[in-house]
Structures are given as structure tokens and as C-alpha cells.
Amino acid sequence: MSSKPDDLAGAGRRNFLKGVTATGAAALTPVLVAQAQTPQTAPAARTVALPNTAVETLPPPAEPVNQTSSGGDFMVDVLKTLDIDYLAMNCASSFRGLHEAVVNYAMNVKPEILTCPHEEIAVSMAQGYAKIEGKPMAVICHGTVGLQHASMGLYNAWCDRVPIYMMIGNIIEADKRGTAPEWAHSAIDPGGMVRDFVKWDDQPASLQHFAESAVRAYKVAMTAPMGPVLLSLDAELQENPISDRDHLRIPKYAPVVPPVGDSGAIAELAKLLVTAQNPVLICDRMARSASGMARLVELAEALQCAVVDLGGRMNFPSRHPLNQTFRRPAVVAQADVILAIEVNDLWGSINSFNDRIVRVNRPLYKPGTKIITLGSRDLYIKSNTQDFQRFNEVDLAIAGDGEGSLPALTEQVRRLLSAERKAALDARGRKLGEAHLALRESAKSDATIGWDASPISTARMCAELYAQIKDEDWSLVGTGININWPRRLWKMDQPHHWNGGSGGFGQGYNAPAAAGAALANKRHGRISVTIQSDGDLMYVPGTLWTAAHHRIPILYVMLNNRAYHQEYMYLQAMAARHGRGIANAHVGTTLTNPNIDFATVARGFGVYAEGPITDPKDLAVALKRAVAVVKRGEPALVDVVTDPR
């Protein structure tokens, strides 16, 4: 054991009186004094030799009750060096030391506390926030119980490769735990509960250890592939005085420069792409900064090739002529070279499967197609959760940050392009452009079917929404499951026009992640909107209160199909397979009887609300009023009763 002054179990902990004042002792009652005088029954930290004079004259200094420094203050100093703007939390005594330091020492600035009525809300807000802001938000919650509530949010963030700076409170030393809840909320290895899906975790044993681990945690979270990290903070370490602040050092943080793919491999890839007849670029979590999309556009335009954007980030403009996202099976079938950039589910994007008794899979690509991956995915993998998806054989796997490696690749491609080859590629590009235009026309035509229907078609709802925001600086920060109308109908060409999905398909992500993203958008003056399905909101309705409380400008447009519709469809498939009809498929899968009045729910949380809207003709005015509220800087919700998808 180290004997540094602030050491958790060392002399410093036992001698913590060095940093305390005894002014409060004057208020001690004789009973307390009597207790203080019985050192053998007092906890170790309280066994202090009292001066005889004090024992003889009342009131004695007894146990210290005030202190002039705290570990929590130091922790704030450390967090400040990491440029963390927000601390999302659901309050709990295991981190009251740090909590108090944030409100009274940091004066609730950097980080500013976000009050969340559920830990899952806190984590998911952080996930949505990081994808817009490009840096993590801190989250803190109770040991054991809070962490278990937070865990699904962490899992989504893990699958989505998003940095979350997660902290929990814990009381490490058994003899420091007092009440029954303190025991129930302590663990010898709390990180073990979520270790399968955080990148790194630690439980610092001293403040110096905290400083180093705090900076390390930030660095690990922000290094590709990014992901959540966890620090378990001992309550005593947060709460107790610091004996010698001057001896504590906060290491400086230097970001890890993202790795660029090996230059030889990039050159080989460039050659393959330039000589290919029909190369296809597939990307998922590629754009991690405002530069990502522009870089992909440069590569695609140099090659005049098809781009399929799986939508994990805002990778490629929706109306770019080379965008072939909604012709994926067709372009993959024609491809002779496929480059997958930061694609996690490569197998799923180039194979099809039938949901039958015997599951039959079929490659969408032809034999001999060269498959190349570029990304950081191969650099880090864990065993238990299976989010790494099915193994797909490839011809060349290049380890490197996708966005970071694109300029070198584009440069190589340009170098290899002769004038003659360029002309050929331009012809290919023109054809793709025509196919893209045809896609857009068919999207528009598809959208007209059921245009005036009630329940309202999701296409109509999305078209009406776009009309209300398109002239603003808008950001779509969430959508319903497989609701692709925005990408099919809207002009999405700014890095903040979209920020991807949950990652782990864990429901209860969309509502809080949208609020977190909207918070990040707020300082840019953007209008954030999300298409919010009913089932998802029902996990985390308290998000609405957080949005109101913190004045987060966000428009929730409810896709209220009154069902966990995805599961309704799965149950239907089961019933059909078993030849029993679908008459009972609604049991356990629908949200009717009573129908949920989301506008009333929202108003109850202090959020401006409209609806339920069942006639599409009423949409425009309701959305317009709601957008005006959001432009004023507040949240709003419009409940739209829609057809299933």
C-alpha cells in the first residue's frame, strides 16, 4: 500500500483531520461528545486522540464537522481540464461528494448538471450529444442500482462506438458503509456489471490515481474505435479533505491522432478502385467530424462510383447523384469491388436472409467480387455480447480510421486517373445520377399513396415536417425504426442533418438521445427535430421533463402507431408460420385500450404539445406552432397518430 497523503487506505485516510476545521464542534451535544470519547466503538477514521483540556471543558472539539478542502473539488479541477460541459445524472448519495463540489465549487459551470429522472436517460442523452458535439458528456450515477439502470444506455453507446464519460459512486471500505442502502449500493467490482460493453474502467484508490485515470479514461473513450468508459469513485475519496493539494498533479491530455491506413495498402486499394468496373463504397459509422462527409464526397466524385450510406452517421448527402443507398441490392449485385468504410455489419449489408424455419442466406454480390474493409473496427473487439456481427471474408482489411484515411486514399486515386479513365468514370457517374433521380421520383410517387389517409401515413408526416423546417438550420436527431422517408425525401447535406441510430437497437434510446443531441445543437442555434415512436418514448417518458427543465429546443413529432409495431410484426410471422392466424398478434404488442394521450403526458412534464392529430390536413398548422416554440428555445411535442410504418 502506498502511503501517499491522499491514499485511499493509507495513512492519509486515517489522518484526514489535517484538512478539517473544528468550528462546528461548538454545536455538539453531550451525547455526541460521549460517543466521540469512546474510540474503541468509533470507526477507524474517527479514532483521534483528543486533547485533555477539551475533554474537561465543554464543548470539546470531538469529531471534526467541517472541512476546507475536498476530494470532490479536486475531481472537479480534473474534469475541467478535460473540457467537459455537462454532467448528466440522477442524484444519489454515493456521489454526493462530487455532486456538491460541482454545484458549490464549480458553481454548476463546466460541468453543468443535467437532471435526469432515469439513468438510462442520462446515458442516452450523452450518446446523442457526443455524436453532434464530437466530444463526450460526463454522466454520474449511483453504484450498483444506478449503474444497472444506466447499463442499456452504455450498451447502445458501445455498439454505436460513441464516447461516454461514465462515473459512479461506491463505498469501497466496508467499515465506512453505514446504512443498509450504503451496503446495497456498494460493490467490490461494480465495473464488472458492464465491463462487457465499456472500453475501459477503473476504480481509483487515491486522488492522484483519479487524476491519471480520469485523463486516461477520456483518452481511451476518444480513441478509435470510440466507446464508453467507466470510473468508480470511492465516496470517501470524493468527500474527505485533501491533506496536500499541492502534491496532486493533473496530467495533461493529448488526443490520440487517429490512425491512417497503411500507405502500401491504401495504394493497393486505390488501384483496385480505379480499375474496377463498378466499385461500391458502403459506409456506416464513418463521418465522426464535420469533415467526414466532404471527404467521402471527394472520393466518390473522383471515382464516380456508387455510395451506399447505411446511416450510422451523416456520411453522404441524400441528394448527391452518386447516392445509391436505396438501390443497395442492385449496386452490390453489380459490384466488382466493394469498399466498406467503418461498417460493423458488413455481412448484413451484402447478404440477404429469409426469416424462415430454416434460415437461408444469400450473398447479394457475385462470386469474385473483391471486398475490402477500412476502419478501426478490427482493432478492438470483446467476446460476450455479439454486436460484432457475422464474420465476413474479405480480400483486404485495412486498419485505420475511416474518415482519417480518406484523404490519402482520394489522393492516390486521383494520381492513378488518366484522362481516358476519367472520361469512362464520368459516363458511369452520369448513369448512376440517372438511377439516383429515378429513385427520388419513385420515393415521391410512393409517398403519394395514402396521402390523405387517417391514420396518417409516415410519408405524409415526414413531408409536412420537412416543409416546416427546411428553411431553418435544422438537425434531425432521431427517427422511428426503418423510417427512411427523411433520407428518401429530404435534402440532407450538412454534417448535423443526421446523427445515426442507437447502435444496439435498445429501445428507450431515441427520446433522450434526441434531447442530448438537441442540447449540443442549441449553442449553434439549430432547430432539432426527432421522429419519436410511441414504444420508445414509453421507456423513458421522463426525458420530456428534462427537456423542459433545461430548456432544450427540440421538436418531438410522435410516430404514434399505438404499438410496439416491430414486435407485432414478429408475432404475426410466428402465428403465420404456425398456421394459427394472426387474430391474437396484438396481445402484448400494442399500446391501445387506453390509447396514450402523449400531448397530455407532455404537458404534464411542462412541454408544449399538440395532438393527437389524426387528420393530415391538421398537421401543417400544428407543426408550425410547435416549431415556433422550439425556435423560442423550448421543447415541443406533436402527437401524430400514424399508420404503422
Partner 1 sequence: MNGFSRLLAVLLLTLAAGHPAWSADAANGKRVYLADGCFACHGRAGQGGAMNYPAPPLAQTKLPLAVFRIILRTGPKDMPAYAENVLPDQDVADIHAFLLSLPGRRPTQDMPLLNQ
Judged by beta carbon distances under 5 to 8 A according to partner kind, the member of partner 1, ligand HEC, ligand TPP, none in contact with residue 564 is ligand TPP
Our CB check for ligand HEC shows the closer of 50 and 573 to be 573
Our CB check for ligand HEC shows the closer of 389 and 572 to be 572
Judged by beta carbon distances under 5 to 8 A according to partner kind, the member of ligand TPP, ligand HEC, partner 1, none in contact with residue 643 is partner 1
Q: Which residues of 88-99 are buried (b: 16+ CB within 10 A; e: fewer)?
A: bbbebbbbebbb
Counting DSSP H helices and E strands in the chain, the numbers are 24, 20
CA distance 301 to 433: 11
* Cell, residue 556: 418531438
CA distance 189 to 532: 37
Judged by beta carbon distances under 5 to 8 A according to partner kind, the member of ligand TPP, Mg ion, ligand HEC, none in contact with residue 505 is ligand TPP
DSSP for 476-494, written as a single string:
E----TT--HHHHHS---S
Rule CB under 6 A: choose which of 11, 54, 394, 569 binds ligand HEC: 569
Q: According to the binding rule CB under 5 A, does residue 535 interact with Mg ion?
A: yes
286 and 308 Cβ atoms separated by less than 8 Å:
no
Whole-angstrom CA distances from 554 to 88, 291, 455, 542, 574 are 18, 25, 24, 15, 38
Q: According to the binding rule CB under 6 A, does residue 481 interact with ligand HEC?
A: no
Applying CB under 8 A, the residues found at the interface with partner 1 are 352-356, 441, 444-451, 453, 455, 457-460, 463-464, 466-467, 470, 481-484, 489, 565-566, 568-569, 572-573, 575-577, 579-583, 585, 643-645
Count how many Cα atoms sit within 13 Å of the Cα of residue 12 in the half-sphere of its side chain. Answer: 25
CA distance 12 to 1: 12
Judged by beta carbon distances under 5 to 8 A according to partner kind, the member of ligand HEC, ligand TPP, partner 1, none in contact with residue 575 is partner 1
Our CB check for ligand HEC shows the closer of 42 and 573 to be 573
Judged by beta carbon distances under 5 to 8 A according to partner kind, the member of ligand TPP, ligand HEC, partner 1, none in contact with residue 534 is ligand TPP
Our CB check for ligand TPP shows the closer of 474 and 564 to be 564
40-43 long-range Cβ contacts below 8 angstroms, 24+ apart:
43/175, 43/176
341 and 371 Cβ atoms separated by less than 8 Å:
no
| Contact region with Mg ion (CB under 5 A), list: 33-41, 466-474, 544-552, 553-561 | 553-561
Closest CA to 146 of 100, 112, 101, 193: 193
Q: According to the binding rule CB under 6 A, does residue 389 interact with ligand HEC?
A: no
Binding track over 571-600 against ligand HEC, x by CB under 6 A: -xx---------------------------
For the chain, how far is it from start to end, CA to CA, in angstroms?
60
Angle between helices 402-416 and 292-303 (to 10 degrees): 30
Judged by beta carbon distances under 5 to 8 A according to partner kind, the member of ligand TPP, Mg ion, ligand HEC, none in contact with residue 148 is none
Closest CA to 130 of 317, 315, 289, 294: 289
Our CB check for Mg ion shows the closer of 324 and 457 to be 457
Our CB check for Mg ion shows the closer of 238 and 561 to be 561
Judged by beta carbon distances under 5 to 8 A according to partner kind, the member of ligand TPP, partner 1, ligand HEC, none in contact with residue 447 is partner 1
Count how many Cα atoms sit within 13 Å of the Cα of residue 24 in the half-sphere of its side chain. Answer: 9
Phi, psi of 627 (to 5 degrees): -60, -40
| Contact region with ligand HEC (CB under 6 A), list: 80-88, 262-270, 559-567, 568-576 | 568-576
Our CB check for ligand HEC shows the closer of 22 and 573 to be 573
- Residue 559 CB, shortest distance to ligand TPP, in Å, is 7
- Residue 484 CB, shortest distance to ligand TPP, in Å, is 12
Closest CA to 345 of 298, 295, 285: 285
DSSP for 265-314, written as a single string:
HHHHHHHHHHH-SSEEEEESS---STTHHHHHHHHHHHHT-EEEE-SSS-
Our CB check for partner 1 shows the closer of 390 and 632 to be 390
Our CB check for Mg ion shows the closer of 16 and 485 to be 485
Judged by beta carbon distances under 5 to 8 A according to partner kind, the member of partner 1, ligand HEC, ligand TPP, none in contact with residue 450 is partner 1
The residues binding ligand HEC (CB under 6 A) are: 569, 572-573
